[in-house]
Amino acid sequence: MSVSTPVHDFLRVYSAQDPVRCHMPGGKRTPFDITEIDGADSLYEADGIIGESEQNAARLFGAAKTVYSCGGSTLAIQAMLAAAKAENPTKTRVAASRFCHRSLVSACALLGLEIDWIMPSDFLSCNITTWEAREKINDKTLCLFVQSIDYYGGECDISDFSLLCREKKIPLLADNAHGAYLVFTDRHPLKLGADMTADSAHKTLPCITGGAYLHISENAPLPFSQRAKEFTALFGSSSPSYLILDSLDLCNRHIEEEKTRAAQVFSEIKRLKNSLLTAGYHLRKSDLMRITIDANKYGYSGSELLKLLRMNGVSAEFADSRYTVLLFSTGQNFADFSAVLTAASRIPKRPEIVSEEYEAVIPPVVLSPREAVFSQTEEISAAKAEGRVCGGVSCPCPPCVPIVMPGELFTSQAVKLLRQYGVETVKAVVRK
């Protein structure tokens, strides 16, 4: 039996009736673009069609409760941290993987939380160890925050961190923004022991931009489920998009009915990886939904290879000086895989470039994230930032991962890394 789509069904019937729209929004020509009219439910109360749809999603993901976000995983991460803080208001520190998305840093600044960073061995990697995490956990630690998948497609062993958090009696929060597709596998963070996860449906499932889930595990403290809506409402818009809600609702049907298709997509990506290796490309180990090409070994910078692929009809997700990242979806057209191989095959191999390594650093902390973000700041050249205190998040998007965090000192090594990564200007706290 097919999963119900209550939001989509309501929008379809309402649109077909074609009433005179004496309600918001101002644009009257987009059929499914409505507001909280009679029968349409309300996202932050959700006891009607939206609530039913969220229950469908919770069942499909194996969550005790699922809350929809029209503000991407950013909103879900903010709500996760707020729920954790409300449960343990005296705890003020978060142990977190260093190369997190900027949304964690922003949420901590808003909530007055400080961060104890866990450094992985590689730049932008989420592959931290439980030993390193254990070193950062103390009696002031509110939670452990990890990424399940990083921008290169590296993966974190959630199950090991789950055991650590059970031992330390703190919740495990997982940024699973890049791993919503793991619902089709046995590797979703919820199944591996995470208490709460933020999943961006729009990244790897057929959902429009901004659609995401906040999932709460059956093992999480009960207040997490009870107050999840309260905290998404705290940070989210009071005018959520019904276009996004419709897309999330239809995503449930995709998850229910397209298991075979998802497995075929995984297989096609694996086959494409093998074909690219045969064609002379070198690949970094990556998850089921990414292909991360080491462009330097093929004779190009990552950005050069991205441009050449684009000239041959393929738009890549992300590139830096070394890597080019291709990201796929469980809704991908199967013809796309052969098109990628054709485009890549047209690019001639050149002599290998010696890779420019990024030296990951954690600069000294001068101010808390909150103190820094709410200080008077000025925008200055990154080249002249040494000795100043970072007053805001400066990072390219993608990958939207800060190099220097608010409150940290711009050291000579940090300035070098910023410039190496293409950051030309930064926010610095104004000197008194």
Q: How far is CA 385 from CA 57, 71, 269, 416, in A?
A: 46, 33, 43, 10
Per residue of the chain (432 residues), what is the pLDDT tens digit? 589 999 999 999 999 999 999 999 998 889 899 999 999 999 999 999 999 999 999 999 999 999 999 999 999 999 999 999 999 999 999 999 998 999 999 999 999 999 999 999 888 899 999 999 999 999 999 999 999 999 999 999 999 999 999 999 999 999 999 999 999 999 999 999 999 999 999 999 999 999 999 999 999 999 999 999 999 999 999 999 999 999 999 999 999 999 999 999 999 999 999 999 999 999 999 999 999 999 999 999 999 999 999 999 999 999 999 999 999 999 999 999 999 999 999 999 999 999 877 777 889 999 999 999 999 999 999 999 999 999 988 776 678 888 899 999 999 999 988 887 888 899 999 987
Query: What is residue 409's three-state secondary structure?
Result: strand
The span from the CA of 418 to the CA of 282, in Å, is: 26
Sheet with 93-97, edge to edge strand ranges: 65-69, 212-216, 196-200, 172-175, 141-147, 93-97, 114-118
Give all domains of the chain, ordered by start, each with its CATH number. 6-257 (3.40.640.10), 259-345 (3.90.1150.10), 369-429 (3.90.100.10)
Nearest to 305 by CA among 289, 291, 286: 291
Instruction: Please tell me the total number of residues recorded for the chain in this structure.
Output: 432
Return the structure tokens found at 68: 């929809």
